[in-house]
Amino acid sequence: MKLFRAHRKISCMGLLLVCAAATLCGLTIISMIEGADPGATAPVASVGGIPPRLMQAYVQAAAAMPQLDPECKGMSWQLLAGIGKVESGHAEGHQIDADGVVTPPLVGPILNGSGAGGNTTPVYDTDQGRWDDNSQFDAAVGVVQFLPSTFASYAERVRPEGGANPQDVDDETLAAALYLCQGQDLTDPQTLHNAILRYNYSSAYVDEVLRWMRQYTELGDPTGTVPIGDASEQAQQVIAAAASQFGVPYSWGGGSAAGPTTGICCSEGGQDGRTVTGFDCSGLMVYAFAKVGIRLPRVAADQAGVGQRIPASAGVSALRPGDLVFFGNSGGIYHVGLYIGGGQMINAPKPGDVVKQAAVWNYNYAGGARLLG
C-alpha cells in the first residue's frame, strides 16, 4: 500500500484567506472535541496559513486516534498538517466547503509511468476512474494525496456507514492518521521517521514534513488560548482596520492614517509608488493603529522603537494579537506586520503584492512590539 506524492504547491507566504473585516479573518476558535486527548489537539484558528475548515479536520483526526487506534501514541495535528502542506499546500487553489468537501476535486498527475509527480512505474486503475477520472491509470487524490486503492482500504474504518470520500477532508485526514499510526509510538523519533518514510519513500520528503511539523508546533498554541478571544477591544479594532484593506495594492511609501495613498519613488525593485494607490508595510500599520488613536512613526525601523519590545529570542509564541511583528537583518528592521494570533499576521508584503494575511515568517524574524494592553 504505497502512497505516491503526486505534486507539491508550497508557498512561503502562506495562503491568502480573504474575509470581511467584521469576521476578523475567520479567527473563530475551533472548540475542543468532546472526549478528545488534549495533548493531541490544538483548538486554535488558522495556524500557519491553514484554512480553518482544514485545520478542524487535522485536529479532529488526531484527536480520534486514542479511540480508533489505542496502541498509537503521539499522533498530532501538526504531523497531519506537515503531510498536507507538502502534498497539496493545504489544498492550495481549491475551496473547502462547510462539510469539508474540496472543490474542484484535488487530483494529482496520472501515474502512467511518464515521470510526472516522480512516478516512473505505471499504477493501473483500481477505482474505475471514480475518484481520479481515469479508468486506465490511477492518480493520487485529495488534500493528503492518497492512491484510491489505499484510501479504499481505510474507507470502512473512516466511515462505517459507507460513503467515505477522499475529497472530504474529514475522511481523508482520518485515513492518513490511521495509515501513519498503525499501533506505533510516534513519540519515538525513529518510529516517526519510518512512518513518514512509508508514506513516501524519500528522505528529503521526511525531512520536509518534519520541518513543517516543527514549524506548526512552534506557531500553534496547544492550549487553545491564543486567538482573538483573548485580544483586547483595542486589538480587535486594529486587526479589523487592517483586515478591511485586504486586496489593496502594495505601494512603496504609500498609506497614511486616513487610508491608502500614492507613494514615492522608488523601491529597490524599481516600483514607482507614485503610480500606485495603496500601502507599504509601515503605512498599513500607521492606518490600523490610527483607528484607536495611536500615532505611529512612518517607517518600520522607527515603529520598532515604540511600545514594549518583544525580543526575537522569546519566539512567536510570546506575541499577542495586536502586536507589531518585525523582520530585519544586519542593516536593521526592514518589514513590519500586525500579529493576529495563531502564528498569523496581516501585512503589505512587497511591490506587486497586496495587503494579505500570511504566516509569520521564520526568515529574519526580529521580534515584536506591544502597544496595546
Q: Say yes or no to pLDDT of 261 above 60.
A: yes
Question: Which has more confidence, 33 or 136?
Answer: 136
- Say what the pLDDT of residue 174 is: 96
Q: Say yes or no to pLDDT of 135 above 60.
A: yes
Question: What does the pLDDT look like over 147-163, one tens digit per residue?
Answer: 999 999 999 999 999 99
- Say what the pLDDT of residue 309 is: 95
CB 59 within 8 A of CB 42: yes
- Say what the pLDDT of residue 244 is: 82
With b for 16 or more beta-carbon neighbours within 10 A and e for fewer, the 34-51 pattern comes to eebeeebbbbbbbbbbbb
Question: What does the pLDDT look like over 47-93, one tens digit per residue?
Answer: 566 887 888 889 889 888 988 999 999 999 999 999 999 999 999 99
- Residue 366 CA: distances (Å) to CA of 32, 309, 313, 357: 32, 10, 8, 19
Q: Say yes or no to pLDDT of 354 above 60.
A: yes
Mean pLDDT of 238-249: 86
Out of 52-61, 191-200, 307-316, 360-369, least confident range: 52-61
Mean pLDDT of 118-136: 89
- Say what the pLDDT of residue 6 is: 37
Could you tell me the residue ranges of all domains in the chain?
21-219, 231-370
CATH number of 231-370: 3.90.1720.10
- Residue 326 CA: distances (Å) to CA of 12, 55, 137, 185, 246: 17, 26, 49, 39, 20
Mean pLDDT of the chain, nearest integer = 83
Q: Is 217 exposed, middle or buried (0-12, 13-18, 19+ CB in 10 A)?
A: middle
- Say what the pLDDT of residue 343 is: 83
* Grid coordinates given for 14: 502562506
pLDDT-based confidence at residue 35 (cuts at 50, 70, 90):
very low
* Strands (DSSP E) found in 112-184: 139-141
- Say what the pLDDT of residue 224 is: 37
Q: Say yes or no to pLDDT of 230 above 80.
A: no
Give the number of other Cβ atoms within 10 Å of residue 9's Cβ: 14
pTM tops 0.85: no
- Say what the pLDDT of residue 342 is: 78
Between CA 327 and CA 329 the distance in angstroms is 7
